[in-house]
Amino acid sequence: MTDKPLLILIAGPYRSGTDGDPRAMAANLARLEAAAGPVFAAGHVPVIGEWIALPVLRSAGAGPTDPLADEVLYPTAERLLAHCDAVLRLPGDSAGADQDVATARRRGLPVYHDVTEIPVLAPRGAA
């Protein structure tokens, strides 16, 4: 158990394997978001890089298949990892998620591959 909430980056495929199909990317984002509930239930704060990067892209008039995306998606995750305490790596081929894992390991952060591996935060007042 841990005594403070962790900020956990959920990493996995977003654009990978979609050939730019918006529905496939939306399905991938939904899979990432499905892991947010269990992370939160364990007492932690889940975060997904696309939650931050996509509004940045939209504000620049671009989307996830625009050439600008590589200049926003990967750097967003890199900057976000400077604040994260751990990474939850979901299954699936993803160069970006693999990069997130490598960055986390370089920084000495734990990398989990299943939500059941994440320590459960002790409830307040628990002994």
| Average pLDDT of the chain to the nearest whole number | 93
**Contact (Cβ atoms closer than 8 angstroms) between residue 73 and residue 64:** yes
Residue 82 tokens read as: 């400077």
**Average confidence (pLDDT) over 96-113:** 97
Q: What is the pLDDT of residues 43-92, one digit of tens each?
A: 999 999 999 999 999 999 999 999 999 999 999 999 999 999 999 999 99
Sketch out the chain's domains with CATH numbers.
Answer: 7-117 (3.40.50.10400)
Whether residue 127 is predicted with pLDDT greater than 50 in this model: the reply is no
Whether residue 124 is predicted with pLDDT greater than 70 in this model: the reply is no
- Predicted local confidence at residue 2, as pLDDT: 61
Residue 125 Rama label (left phi>0; alpha psi -120 to 50; beta): left
CA 50 → CA 18, 65, 119, 127, distances in Å? Answer: 15, 13, 24, 37
Q: What is the pLDDT of residues 56-70, one digit of tens each?
A: 999 999 999 999 999
∠ Cα 109 111 115 (to 5°): 130
Determine the Cα–Cα distance for residues 59 and 77; give it in Å rounded to an integer. Answer: 18
